[in-house]
Each structure stands twice: as C-alpha cells, then as structure tokens.
C-alpha cells in the first residue's frame, strides 16, 4: 500500500463506527496434507564443488507452493541420479508419492542437466527432460525444472522462474536514509539494484512484458510516478500533478496505467493511455479511492475506498463507472490483488474487534476468508502469476522483512533480503 494512503485510511478506520456484516467463515491455516515428493541430490560428474545445490533449490520451490512436501535428505535410504538406480520400495517406505532425480554433466564449458520424475505407486516415469547452462545459471535451471515438474503434476504453470521487486530503506542518521529499488529471484536470491535515492521509493510494479516497471519516487520532494526500462535503466517521469501521485498499476496488456491522483481534491483513480499519455478519471466520489488493481478483462478495476465508512474493496467498470462493493467481512480490507484465475482475492484484512492487520485470501465464489499470515503488521501483498503463492511485507524482531506464504495456508517463511527495512514487494509476470 502507498504509505501515505495507508496512514490516511488507517486514521479513517479508527474514527468511524463498525460496519454491519455477516458472520465470516474464517480459516486460519491449511488442513489437508501436502503431497510428499523426494527431490534427490543431483549426480555431478565434474571434479569441483558446484556453487549451487540444484536439487535443494528445486525442492524448496516445490515446498514453497504449499502443494508438495519434500522428503528430508537425511531420511533418504538411497540417492539415485537416474531411472535405473531407483529402488521403489525405498521411496514407498518413506511415503513419497513422486521421486525426482537428476544428473549434471560438464559439456564444452557448460553444464548439461538430465532430469526425470517418477510416480512411486505406479513405478512409471511421468516427466523427463534436459536443460543446459553455465555455472552462473544453476539457479535458473533449478527453477526451470521445478516449473516443469509443478506443471506436470498439477496442471498449473510453475512460477518459480519469476522475479520480484522490493524496496529497502537503510537509515544511517536522522536525515540520511538510502532507499534502494531491488530486483531478485522470487525467493529473494540474486538481488540487483535498479535505483538508489535519498528520497522514498514506493509502489513498484512490473509491466506485463516484464521489461518495464512503474513506481513512485519522492526525488522532487513530492510523489511522482516514473516508468523505467529494466535492461537499459532508462526512466521517464509520467505524472507531475499537484498533490498525491501514487499506486501505479499496469493494465493486462500494458497499454494503460491506473494510478491515484488528488489533483481535483479527494484521491481518485485515473487511467493513462501510455501511447497518447491522455488520462481520464475513473472514480468520482467524495471519498478516498486508492490502490487500483486490474481484472484480466482490462475493463474492471478493483480498488480500496472508504466510501462506506471504513476501508473496503470495490470494483468498477472503467467504461460505465458503476462501482460494486466486494468485501463485507471485517472492519478493514485494503490493497486488493487477484489470483490468476480471479477466484481468489488477496488483501490486507482486519477482523471485527481486532486492531492487527493480516494478509487474507477471500474465495470470491464461496465468500469464505482464509487468514494467511501469523504476524500482525502486514502490508503490500503481491501474488504469483499462477496464484499459488504470495509475498507480503511485515515486521519481524523490529525490522521490516518480506514473508512468502502459500495461498493454501501451508507455508509461511521469511525471505532472505538485504539489510535495512524491506518493504513494497511486487511479483513479476511470467518471463518466458
């Protein structure tokens, strides 16, 4: 959430009375068991130790989805690297439903990885393939294998080869803070710096092509929206209106950008055509409307508004302007994000009678609500393009950190990131 708007909306939520709502169905965590899978350490035919453990990366990916539970290595009875070495009774004894094996071979200065996935119960191969690259691409190859395995077993495209944006803030003294916009693997590894500033950076967002990003910068001492090309670093300021310029969100085809302006008084949602740079106003009420997020039809925008007295999530058609309230459970719902199939709405949620903010997922068909976080100061959820995982900002031991959680509630874990306060995560689209 845009920091300024979070403060405004939180203040409004505390000042006005409670909304009447139906009794919620709230689920605190996943209940059914993840599928046991053995990702065996890959065979290595070279003479030196590799800098990355591909099998471990692949296993972590599958675990992070919340769908699979990797068998611990210390429990493995044997360590096959190819089909002929698999003893199925060993894996049946461990309760594994699938076994993934791999073998890494040096080839002309590069590495070639052969991998195969087997169903333990039927003793049949379900996937085989190969991937090549340099030693600096071990993580890429591991994520790729996890993507293929996940899709084969679930029918859902894997999202482990995606990237993440986030902002760090390192405070050196009272008047000296360095803000850094970072891009990393989805799991926080291999972070690179895209921008540094002595002024705050907020709300980074990937364009659907994965090559451009939009964000809010205070480098002119006022919030303004910029678009930056990732490969070249070329950046362009696209708004310069009085008051608030914030919360940029790309349309599904990347041709338009929704954002929030307060140039006409209240914060309202506007849409800019990125070709002509013409803008038009989408919402028009005496209330705070913020945090737009596009539906996949390119005509629907979900947003946060206090028009009913407290922050709740609405959706509107940008052509008709008609708005419909979406959330009714809880006294605060904000920062909407949709899953890829648009069946799940992820948000920052506060239950009636509580003061803490949680990440929650609402089933838009059933109306049930699942609490996904076990912390209390959560913000800025961002959802994987396949809808299986999310990342959000929270605090842990007094420091701003990023947490990864599975949508089904089985997995919650902190991501390794740089020093300082970490905030404002944004998940990339598919990049291949």
Question: Residues 24, 53: one domain?
Answer: no
Q: Which of 109, 125, 154 is the last residue of a domain?
A: 154
Predicted confidence band at 19 (pLDDT cuts at 50, 70, 90)? very low
* pLDDT, the chain, mean: 90
Question: Residues 298, 359: one domain?
Answer: yes
Q: Which of 121, 136, 154 is the last residue of a domain?
A: 154
Is position 51 within any domain?
A: yes
Question: Residues 56, 25: one domain?
Answer: no
The backbone torsions φ and ψ at residue 146, rounded to the nearest 5 degrees and listed phi first, read -65, -40
* DSSP H or E segment with residue 6: helix 3-15
pLDDT at 30 over 80: no
Predicted confidence band at 12 (pLDDT cuts at 50, 70, 90)? very low
Is position 421 within any domain?
A: yes
Is position 432 within any domain?
A: no
Question: Residues 73, 110: one domain?
Answer: yes
Predicted pLDDT of residue 143 = 98
Helices (H), 272-419: none
Is position 123 within any domain?
A: yes
pLDDT at 304 over 90: yes
Predicted pLDDT of residue 142 = 98
For residue 293, give the CATH number of its domain.
2.120.10.30
Predicted pLDDT of residue 166 = 97
Q: Give the pTM.
A: 0.89
Give the start-end residues of each E strand in 134-255.
163-173, 176-185, 192-197, 201-206, 212-217, 224-229, 235-237, 245-250
Which has more confidence, 177 or 8?
177
Question: Residues 193, 55: one domain?
Answer: no
Residue 142 sits in which domain range?
35-154
Question: Residues 113, 238: one domain?
Answer: no
The answer to whether 407 touches 376, Cβ cutoff 8 Å, is no
Among 215-224, 345-354, 409-418, the range with the most confident prediction by mean pLDDT is 215-224
pLDDT at 201 over 90: yes
Which has more confidence, 32 or 267?
267
Question: Residues 202, 111: one domain?
Answer: no
pLDDT in tens, 224-247: 999 999 999 999 999 999 999 999
Predicted confidence band at 378 (pLDDT cuts at 50, 70, 90)? very high
Q: Which of 119, 154, 189 is the last residue of a domain?
A: 154
* DSSP H or E segment with residue 57: helix 54-64
Contacts 24+ apart (CB under 8 A), 42-49: 42/81, 42/101, 42/102, 42/103, 42/104, 42/113, 42/115, 43/81, 43/82, 43/101, 43/102, 43/103, 43/104, 44/103, 44/104, 45/103, 45/104, 45/105, 45/106, 46/104, 46/105, 46/106, 46/111
Question: Residues 115, 193: one domain?
Answer: no
Question: Residues 320, 420: one domain?
Answer: yes
Question: Residues 150, 197: one domain?
Answer: no
Number of domains within the chain: 2
Question: Residues 194, 79: one domain?
Answer: no
């Amino acid at each position: 959430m845009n920091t300024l708007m979070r403060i405004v909306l939180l203040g409004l939520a505390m000042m006005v009375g409670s909304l009447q709502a139906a009794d919620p169905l709230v689920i605190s965590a996943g209940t059914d068991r993840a599928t046991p899978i053995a990702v065996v350490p890959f065979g290595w035919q070279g003479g030196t130790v590799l800098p990355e453990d591909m099998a471990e990366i692949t296993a972590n990916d599958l675990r992070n989805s919340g769908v699979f539970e990797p068998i611990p290595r210390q429990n493995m009875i044997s360590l096959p690297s190819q089909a002929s070495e698999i003893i199925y009774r060993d894996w049946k004894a461990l309760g594994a439903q699938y076994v993934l094996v791999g073998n890494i071979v040096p080839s002309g200065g590069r590495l070639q990885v052969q991998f195969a996935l087997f169903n333990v119960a039927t003793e049949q191969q379900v996937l085989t393939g190969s991937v090549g690259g340099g030693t600096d691409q071990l993580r890429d190859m591991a994520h790729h294998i996890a993507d293929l395995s996940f899709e084969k077993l679930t029918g859902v495209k894997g999202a482990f080869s995606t990237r993440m944006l986030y902002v760090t803030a390192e405070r050196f003294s009272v008047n000296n803070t360095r803000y850094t916009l970072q891009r990393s693997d989805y799991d926080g590894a291999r972070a690179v710096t895209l921008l540094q500033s002595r002024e705050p950076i907020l709300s980074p967002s990937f364009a659907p092509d994965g090559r451009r990003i939009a964000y809010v910068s205070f480098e002119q001492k006022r919030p303004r929206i910029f678009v930056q090309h990732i490969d070249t670093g070329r950046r362009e300021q696209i708004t310069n209106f009085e008051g608030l310029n914030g919360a940029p969100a790309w349309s599904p085809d990347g041709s338009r950008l929704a954002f929030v302006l307060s140039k006409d008084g209240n914060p309202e949602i506007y849409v800019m055509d990125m070709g002509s740079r013409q803008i038009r106003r989408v919402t028009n009420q005496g209330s705070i409307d913020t945090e737009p997020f596009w539906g996949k039809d390119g005509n629907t925008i979900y947003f946060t508004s206090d028009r009913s007295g407290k922050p709740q999530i609405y959706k509107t058609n940008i052509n008709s302007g008609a708005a419909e309230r979406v959330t009714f459970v809880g006294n605060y719902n904000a920062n909407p994000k949709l899953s890829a199939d648009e069946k799940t709405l992820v948000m920052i949620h506060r239950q009636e009678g509580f003061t803490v903010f949680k990440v929650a997922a609402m089933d838009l068909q059933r109306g049930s609500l699942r609490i996904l976080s076990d912390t209390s100061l959560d913000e800025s959820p961002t959802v994987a393009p396949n809808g299986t995982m999310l990342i959000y900002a929270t605090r842990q031991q007094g420091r701003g950190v990023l947490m990864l959680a599975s949508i089904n509630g089985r997995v919650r874990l902190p991501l390794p990131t740089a020093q300082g306060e970490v905030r404002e995560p944004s998940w990339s689209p598919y990049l291949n």
